[in-house]
Structure 1
Amino acid sequence: MKYLQYIEDNTLRLEVSRRGGGVEIDCTSLFNIDNAKMAAYQNYLGGGIAGAVQVNANFKPKKLQLKL
Structure 2
Amino acid sequence: MIPAFIDESEAADHVLSQSAFEPVWQVLKALRAHDRRLADELDQLRLSASIRLSWNVTRTRPRL
**One fold, TM greater than 0.5?**
no
TM-score by length of 2: 0.30
The structure in which a higher percent of residues are strand is: 1
TM-score by length of 1: 0.29
